[in-house]
Amino acid sequence: MKYTQASQGRIFIMRLEQGDIIPETIEAFASQQNIRSAYVLFIGGAEEGSNVVVGPEEGSNHKPVPMVTTLTGISEGVGFGTIFTNQDGLPRLHLHAAFGRERDTITGCTRQGVTVWHIGEVVIQELVNCSAHRSVNPQSGFELLEV
């Protein structure tokens, strides 16, 4: 285990609208506001056809091939994530969410693009005095958190 310490900074409340895409919309906002690290809460609707990463195809040590599933209907969603800057200084969102429709739920990462249906509410709690950042891991290809 590795860790670092941070302090609380600004708090932002966002209303996402029909057609906004996660993670792009949140990352663009973070860049405009110069948010380098934060945690993120999401609640709202997801459009049919949105893509969610639901795991690697296999659990080996080589670069994993992501399994992506497509939402087959408009879904309710709730998620939690983090923002940390990558090696280029750009804010990168890592948000996992659960999307439900009737009795079916899909849980996964939003990095392939989730389109907001009607409305999405986001709270961003900025973390300041924080040295954590994302760096590409050559083995997995993921931008992993470095502390």
Task: Please give the pLDDT value at position 119.
Answer: 96
Task: Please give the pLDDT value at position 113.
Answer: 97
Task: Please give the pLDDT value at position 78.
Answer: 98
Contacts of 46 (CB under 8 A, 6+ apart): 71, 74, 75, 76, 77, 97, 99, 114, 115, 116, 117
Task: Please give the pLDDT value at position 36.
Answer: 98
Q: In this predicted model, what pLDDT tens digit does every residue of 101-129 receive, in sequence order?
A: 999 999 999 999 999 999 999 999 999 99
| Gyration radius from the chain CA atoms | 15
Most confident by average pLDDT, 24-38, 57-71, 131-145: 24-38
Task: Please give the pLDDT value at position 56.
Answer: 87
* Distance separating the N- and C-terminal Cα atoms of the chain: 10
CA dihedral 49, 51, 54, 56 (to 10 degrees): 130
Q: In this predicted model, what pLDDT tens digit does every residue of 45-98 receive, in sequence order?
A: 999 999 999 998 877 667 788 899 999 999 999 999 999 999 999 999 999 999
Under CATH, to which class is 7-146 assigned?
A: alpha beta
- Residue (of 26, 32, 109) closest to 67 by Cα position: 109
Predicted structure pTM score: 0.95
Beta bridge partners of residue 56, listed in sequence order: 66
pLDDT confidence band for 6 (50 / 70 / 90): very high
> SS3 for 30?
helix
State the amino acid at position 130 in one-letter form.
C
Domain residue spans of the chain: 7-146
